[in-house]
Amino acid sequence: MRHRRRNRMATTLLARCSTAGARLAHGLGRIHGGHPAIPQHA
Residue 40 counted as domain residue: no
Count structural domains, the chain.
1
Q: Which residues have CB under 8 Å from 25's CB, separation 6+? A: 36
Distance of CA 10 to the CA centre of its chain: 14
Rounded to 5°, the CA angle 10-15-28 comes to 135
Residue 36 lies in a domain: no
Q: Is 11 a member of any domain? A: yes
Q: pTM for the full model?
A: 0.40
The answer to whether residue 41 is domain-embedded is no
Domain that holds residue 11: 1-30
* pLDDT digit string (tens) for the chain, length 42 residues: 566 677 888 888 778 878 887 887 777 666 666 555 555 554
